[in-house]
Amino acid sequence: MRFMILWHQFSLRQMLWLICLKNVLRLTSSVLCRSAFGKVWDDRDYLLMIMREVLALIGGFDVADFFPSWTLLHEISGTRSRLMSMHNKIVVVLEKIIHEHKENQPNEEKGHGEFGGEDLIDVLLRVMENGELRFPFTNDNIKAVILDMFFGGTETSSTTIQWALSELMKNPNVMTKAQAEVRCVCEGKKDLNDNDLEELKYLKLVINETLR
């Protein structure tokens, strides 16, 4: 009976932790989308789902990795075909995003995101149209930049936050001190600026230790 209770508590904690990780991933992707692309995409959650599938697939065991020259193994394992299928799904979403930006250009509605002005995709499209670079710059290059920004920025940032949270949970005294500092600095404020962030000295130490 005691074992069942402990197992139930462990399962509950594990479920809550997975929910927390999912929310962290959504948070980092939202911040990235707003800062780089002007707004949170409608297909953001769909891209996150594909990203998790891709990471699980390339991080898993595949016999074909030990014999890369044996093309038959790649066909049997099905990993390459599944990756290509995910790639095609991602391309459809990215082309939709680029198409939306192109449609707004004739109407002079560039930067139609939450913050106004040009976002990263608008700038890349302008560079492509003006031919400002010495080398060819196409839609494929824009899709590659968007994909690198979204996948790289989302996964790395969320992983860092997850490590920080896990270490804080292991050290409750440190977490209590960090929480007290944040509450003290943010008390009674609706918005924070750079000066407020500079006051979070202990939290910076926590971040530095996490990165170390």
Q: What is the pLDDT of residues 113-160, one digit of tens each?
A: 555 667 888 888 888 888 777 788 888 888 888 888 888 888 788 888
- Residue 114 tokens, joined: 């939450």
pLDDT: is 32 or 199 the higher one?
199
Evaluate if residue 1 carries a pLDDT over 80.
no
Mean pLDDT of 182-209: 84
Distance, in Å, from the CA atom of 26 to the CA atom of 44, rounded to the nearest integer, reads 9
The amino acid at 144 = A
- Residues 196-210: pLDDT tens digits? 888 888 988 888 888
Residue pair 126/118 in contact by the 8 Å Cβ criterion = yes
Closest CA to 140 of 124, 120, 159, 123: 124
pLDDT band at residue 110 using 50, 70 and 90 as cut-offs: low
Distance, in Å, from the CA atom of 29 to the CA atom of 118, rounded to the nearest integer, reads 19
Which DSSP category does 114 fall into? T
Closest CA to 163 of 195, 118, 208: 208
